[in-house]
A and B are shown apart, each in its own frame.
Chain A
């Protein structure tokens, strides 16, 4: 992780402006700044942007699997070790024209926990993952999405107990269900969103017709969910093209 060298820190507080998750506090008695290890998500913005005029912010060895996981997921420059993908380590719709991961009749569910910018404790990610699994989402395996590496049971979305109090800038819960199950999944998300202490941004991945449409989204109206106006469109130029 990063730490502030107390010998070098002059207590100017400039670094606080650059922390993505407000993890840098000021200790009045010492007149120095300090990083709260319980809040820091290891995004390394303070290090990469070289924000300290006294060079007091220093990297510290990430001495456990979870600390390393925290850093790799929160810092988009890093490649995730298993999926080989940068960012939060998932492919979702980006290569679906080649990978065929989400097929006709299926809905990819892509939940950005902690986003926008709130951060997420893994205990909250577990609640949402378990709610999805219970509602019929088949959660993506570890070779597709990093969070699965922390799951002790992919069928239920249960995470390892000793990771639950780790905080990340964001992490993606990824899986898929049948189109007919989408309504139930959304209902489950409407329930669990009230039980978490953070936010998530929800994406639904669908195969579309030549006009970019899919009637499955009609169920949003019945649930009182606004139709989407933004989308990430895979334009089908990848090869070999998946027709699944």
Chain B
């Protein structure tokens, strides 16, 4: 799945949006992964990963981190969010030092991610490049809605729910931050960047 690759929206905003992933390869290093997964989580939390989760349980915006850790199995997928390049560098340095042997992926704006790799002393092996959206685009939601819904690449966030949250913020029934958490809870993987989302909502609604 390429669920973190095709995010959209303002480039400056995307520069504050990184995803980290730990992956196991079927038949090679996909057994007894829990201890390694816990190392990844520790490394991510040490640098302040704003969101993380396991698709089998859900994100920390919705579930206690202890519960997510407890339920980790060999079918788990551990991943999360950073909002600063410095976090990516520190995370990669620590994971490299731990030498866990799992695949590690960082998604984001390449002009941010590639220098971060260099600074951390890791060598990119392969890149999946986003060439954007093709086909019949007439019926796509508006750009602001898309900049939010594409933060869950599995598209678990209904565009109408984004509109609903925006209206609630406009009516001062929700803060942008609270609205962003409601949206983040739809993304089971924990890769939704609720910090960026709150910024987008704030700008779109002129909320304070």
Contacts and interface: CB of A to CB of B under 8 A. Distances in A.
Interface stretch (B18-26, B172-180, B199-207): B18-26
Interface residues of B, number: 76
A22 B113 CA distance: 36
Q: What is the predominant secondary structure among interface residues of chain A facing chain B? A: loop
Contact of B154 (A76, A97, A204, A238): A76
B101 A115 contact: no
Contacts of B154: 76, 87-88, 169-170
Interface stretch (A13-21, A29-37, A57-65, A158-166): A13-21
A233 B106 contact: yes
B5 interface: yes
Contact of A212 (B114, B130, B188): B114
A189 interface: yes
A163 to B, nearest CB: 20
A230 B161 contact: no
Given A16-B160, A231-B129, A117 B25 contact: no
A197 interface: yes
A43 B135 contact: no
B127 interface: yes
Given A88-B1, A230-B5, A17 B160 contact: yes
A142 interface: no
Nearest to A104: B126
Interface in A180-238: 189-190, 193, 196-208, 210-212, 214, 217, 220, 225-226, 228-238
B136 A197 contact: yes
Contacts of B14: 229-230
A114 B112 CA distance: 28
Interface in B159-188: 159-161, 164, 186, 188
A233 B107 contact: yes
Nearest to A228: B129
Nearest to B56: A77
Nearest to A144: B26
A90 B117 CA distance: 25
A205 B126 contact: yes
Contacts of B2: 90, 92, 110, 112, 172, 201, 203, 232
A234 B104 contact: yes
Contacts of B48: none
Contacts of B72: none
B21 to A, nearest CB: 7
B133 A201 contact: yes
B23 A229 contact: no
B5, B129, B141 — most chain A CB neighbours (10 Å): B129
A17 B161 contact: yes
A59 B135 CA distance: 33
A6 to B, nearest CB: 22
B32 interface: no
Interface string A40-84: 000101001100000000000000000000000000110100011
Given A88-B154, A102-B126, A237-B99, 16 more contacts: A22-B160, A83-B26, A85-B26, A91-B25, A94-B21, A108-B128, A116-B6, A117-B141, A193-B134, A199-B133, A204-B129, A230-B5, A230-B6, A236-B123, A238-B103, A242-B125
Interface of A: 16-20, 22, 43, 45, 48-49, 76-77, 79, 83-99, 102, 108, 110, 112, 115-118, 169-170, 172, 189-190, 193, 196-208, 210-212, 214, 217, 220, 225-226, 228-242
Q: List the 9 shortest-distance A-B pairs measured between CB atoms, nearest first.
A: A87-B1, A236-B125, A238-B103, A239-B101, A93-B128, A228-B129, A199-B135, A202-B131, A212-B124
